[in-house]
């Protein structure tokens, strides 16, 4: 006997996983990710994966590591409510990254004696080869104290600092977090695969990612709609939010500003 239902069978089922993080001040991040599940071979998902760094595609491994670090930088900036960026520079063409780390360690130790110094720091190499450091912090900074300490470490005529909010508007910490994290992927080839790409203060707590919904839907609009609705349900606002959609990868990202 012929079964017409066989002709309606699809080997793949399109699924969407919606997840989110709530930072407690109106800042929420929600992602909707597409999965095309092969229904005829669920066991394939249990096959062991290659360990990180074992793949022969070294460049892709570096890119993937940079993306993971970029996400951590963005999340940590939000977790400490960073709203300003300190840039530490040298007048000399300082090309030793180990020295940059040593000098910054000296700065943060001395600042830690007089204040609660929470930070997320990302190094950037200039076109001339010199390193400088971008440091995300929270609250007003004493420019004179910072400059005095930095110059006492690197030389009176050698060091300089800049303190600013690149967006010059209150309530855009989510944009500052994205802004400083871009330096991670900009210079991804400057780092070894397992090298630390950012430096951060201890005790930074990133909210756990929570599952919001698991949908069976062919249309991405269904998943994106749930993402937006989940933001409104927790009282966050969509004014000046950030959003990203990649049709090829099937990935949607939404980030709101603080209330």
Which segment of 9-18, 56-65, 71-80 scores lowest on mean pLDDT? 56-65
Q: Across residues 116-145, what is the average pLDDT?
A: 91
Which tokens in the block code for residue 62?
Answer: 């570096």
Banded model confidence at residue 22, pLDDT cuts 50, 70, 90: very high
Q: Is residue 165 part of a domain?
A: yes
Range of the domain at 192: 76-200
Q: Across residues 137-153, what is the average pLDDT?
A: 92
Phi, psi at 106, each rounded to 5°: -65, -40
Banded model confidence at residue 171, pLDDT cuts 50, 70, 90: low
Q: Does residue 33 contact residue 245 with C-beta atoms inside 8 Å? A: no
Q: Is residue 120 part of a domain?
A: yes
Look at residue 255 in the predicted model and tell me its pLDDT. 95
Q: Is residue 118 part of a domain?
A: yes
Which segment of 38-52, 90-104, 105-119, 195-209 scores lowest on mean pLDDT? 38-52
Higher pLDDT, 3 or 190: 190
Q: Is residue 94 part of a domain?
A: yes
Quickly count: other Cβ atoms within 10 Å of residue 194's Cβ: 9
Look at residue 102 in the predicted model and tell me its pLDDT. 96
Q: Does residue 85 contact residue 119 with C-beta atoms inside 8 Å? A: no
Q: Is residue 22 part of a domain?
A: no
**How many whole angstroms separate alpha carbon 41 and alpha carbon 160?**
59
Look at residue 166 in the predicted model and tell me its pLDDT. 74
Most confident of 40-54, 57-71, 93-107, 194-208: 93-107
Which segment of 105-119, 124-138, 177-191 scores lowest on mean pLDDT? 177-191
**Comparing C-alpha atoms, which of 91, 97, 95 is closest to residue 161?**
91
Q: Across residues 203-218, what is the average pLDDT?
A: 94
Look at residue 64 in the predicted model and tell me its pLDDT. 80
Q: Is residue 229 part of a domain?
A: no
**How many whole angstroms separate alpha carbon 188 and alpha carbon 67?**
9
Q: Does residue 143 contact residue 160 with C-beta atoms inside 8 Å? A: no
pTM exceeds 0.85, yes or no: no
Q: Is residue 172 part of a domain?
A: yes
Phi, psi at 250, each rounded to 5°: 70, 50
Higher pLDDT, 122 or 194: 122
Higher pLDDT, 62 or 44: 62
What is the count of structural domains for the chain?
1
Q: What is the mean pLDDT of the chain?
A: 85
Q: Is residue 127 part of a domain?
A: yes
CATH code assigned at 119:
3.30.70.1910
Look at residue 214 in the predicted model and tell me its pLDDT. 96
Look at residue 47 in the predicted model and tell me its pLDDT. 43
Which tokens in the block code for residue 81?
Answer: 């409510």
Q: Across residues 68-81, what is the average pLDDT?
A: 92
**How many whole angstroms separate alpha carbon 167 and alpha carbon 108?**
25
């Amino acid at each position: 006997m012929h079964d017409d239902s066989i002709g309606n069978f699809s080997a793949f089922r399109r699924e969407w996983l919606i997840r989110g993080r709530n930072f407690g001040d109106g800042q929420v991040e929600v992602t909707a990710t597409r999965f095309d599940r092969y229904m005829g071979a669920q066991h394939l998902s249990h096959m062991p994966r290659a360990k990180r760094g074992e793949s022969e595609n070294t460049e892709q491994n570096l890119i993937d590591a940079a993306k993971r670090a970029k996400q951590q930088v963005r999340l940590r900036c939000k977790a400490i409510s960073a709203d300003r960026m300190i840039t530490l520079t040298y007048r000399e063409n300082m090309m030793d990254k180990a020295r940059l780390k040593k000098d910054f360690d000296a700065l943060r130790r001395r600042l830690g004696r007089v204040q609660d110094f929470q930070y997320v720091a990302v190094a950037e190499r200039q076109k001339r080869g010199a390193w400088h450091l971008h440091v995300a912090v929270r609250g007003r900074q004493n420019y004179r104290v910072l400059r005095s300490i930095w110059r006492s470490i690197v030389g009176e005529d050698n060091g300089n600092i800049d303190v600013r909010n690149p967006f010059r508007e209150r309530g855009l910490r989510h944009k500052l977090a994205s802004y400083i994290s871009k330096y991670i992927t900009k210079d991804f080839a400057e780092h070894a695969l397992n090298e630390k790409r950012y430096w951060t203060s201890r005790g930074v707590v990133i909210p756990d990612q929570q599952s919001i919904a698991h949908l069976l839907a062919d249309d991405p609009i269904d998943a994106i709609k749930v993402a937006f609705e989940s933001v409104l349900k927790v009282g966050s606002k969509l004014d000046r939010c950030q959003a990203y959609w990649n049709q090829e990868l099937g990935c949607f990202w939404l980030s709101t500003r603080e209330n």
